[in-house]
Amino acid sequence: MDIITWTYILVGASFALYIGIAIWTRAGSTKEFYVAGGGVSPLANGMATAADWMSAASFISMAGIISFAGYDGSVYLMGWTGGYVLLALLLAPYLRKFGKFTVPDFVGDRYYSNKARVVAVICALFISFIYVAGQMRGVGIVFSRYLEVDINTGVIIGMCIVFFYAVLGGMKGITYTQVAQYCVLIFAYMVPAIFVSMQLTGNPIPQIGLGGTVADGSALLDKLDGVLQELGFAAYTSGRKGMVDMLAITLALMVGTAGLPHVIVRFFTVPRVKDARLSAGYALIFIAILYTTAPAVAAFGIYNAIDTVAEKPIDELPAWVTNWQKTNLIKVDDKNGDGVVQYLADPAANELSIDKDIMVLANPEIANLPNWVVGLVAAGAMAAALSTAAGLLLVISTSVSRDLFRTFNPKMSEKKELRIARLAAAGAVILAGYFGVNPPGFVAEVVAFAFGLAAASFFPVIIMGIFSSRMTKEGAIAGMLCGLVFTMAYIVYFKFVAPEMNSAENWWFGISPEGIGSIGMLINFVVCMLVSRFTPAPPQEVQKMVEEIRIPRGAGQATGH
């Protein structure tokens, strides 16, 4: 069977599975809609968390960035993995012990203020909408290539699927759907990696194959360095980013991970505090399988791509180039008219343009793997994008229904709250679709901005809310607003207002927009501490609540305070 037929079969079967699970696990109460009834096992929650966290950025775009950036792309690996360790150690158990449904719920109660709750909702909505834009972009890319539709149509199809199982099943449906999606995405990621590793190095373990040798006996990375340098690019294993920017981006991604509302809420779905710790550990193992494989996939992909395209006559280009040209994500321009593709670092002479987001998806085609493997990768990419999109949409819907409407109408019935949550999710799907059609950048770049905003807004107030009983509502509100506004303004200025200024010599302290969230976080911390110092201390019952959250006394069943 051809690639399209295999793709329809595998993507269709996976979608049928997801929808079936959504129907089977339909939420009947707000607790089931928000936190799956609080009865998910640690193993299942670990898988669901891994799927929720490993978005289109992880599956599609991360290896693509590493393929073209080499050493510089390692910031995504270090930042996201380190951030998850930070989340598991410093946040998950304490937030689970607090026992609330959402991060704004925690902020509102901990800082004894509906104003603080509303500011937290605004931050959550900013972060979630920017993040979901990256997922919808990933959905559009997959459909545009494999289902032979344009990106806009692909985004609309993805919107309909997410709307069905996220709005119907809530967190309960999403959780068990994400367990299935993790199984699909990790199988889809590992199978082609193993195949290509065997082809290039003779080793079936991609992590080991990355350090192996190719057919001529030279080390794969040495060979790749040499090939790229011959074409005028920097060596694959060298870095061009400044050390300060590398540290800033890594830090922003780390603390941004620990402040992401759709990941944090997953730890409210398990029965006990110790289950939150255990599920965080399981999730780290499940995430590490993909993350330790990504550098190998990146190196294999760029090596094979250059080998099959560079210095080849245009009329003899392989089928994978022709296929992806239809999506406009690969462009060939014979500038010198010699009929041969020149892939060079010099933009004026380079005749080949490859979108970073296609490397993982195109990898099986580049390596001439069986068509069913290509279809499997499409199903895995859809699972990665849709699982995270669903989690983000739930954060948006719960932020609107619980943290806005119930704040101002506390006597609202549970049935009405659930209806508002579903309507909010529907509206969020439509807005997410718009961002998918008009994305502000490639997938991992967009997601990096969301991490920066999470780092600058949520992380300081959550950490200090847990570990400092002296933190006041005024400090939290001022800190969140200052961190969010500064970081957003910096990103918007360099990416949209004055993109021609977006270079190292114009950045503050040499820090790029992707890393500025680390400075926003520091501003948030400083403002929080200064304002808290000069405002009245929190009420005694709030200080007592903070002590009870932090001290693991009676840490079996969460009590809520």
pLDDT band at residue 264 using 50, 70 and 90 as cut-offs: confident
Whether the model clears a pTM of 0.85, i.e. scores above it, the answer is: no
- Of all residues in the chain, what percent carry a pLDDT higher than 90? 19
pLDDT digits (tens, 9 = 90+) for 337-387: 888 888 888 888 888 888 888 888 889 999 999 989 988 998 888 787 777
State whether residue 553 is helix, strand or coil.
coil
- pLDDT score, position 138: 75
Q: Which CATH class is domain 3-550?
A: mainly alpha
Q: Let me know how long the chain is.
A: 561
- pLDDT score, position 486: 95
Query: Which residue carries 């010699």 as its tokens?
Result: 338
Query: Which residue carries 């909010």 as its tokens?
Result: 424
Q: What is the mean pLDDT of residues 74-97?
A: 79
Report which of 17, 329, 389, 321 is spatially closest to residue 142, judged by C-alpha positions. Answer: 329
Q: Where do the domains of the chain lie?
A: 3-550
Those residues with Cβ within 8 angstroms of residue 423's Cβ, 6 or more apart along the chain or in another chain: none
* Ranges of H-type helices in 63-113: 63-69, 74-86, 92-98, 103-110
Element (H, E) at 353: strand 352-354
- pLDDT score, position 514: 87
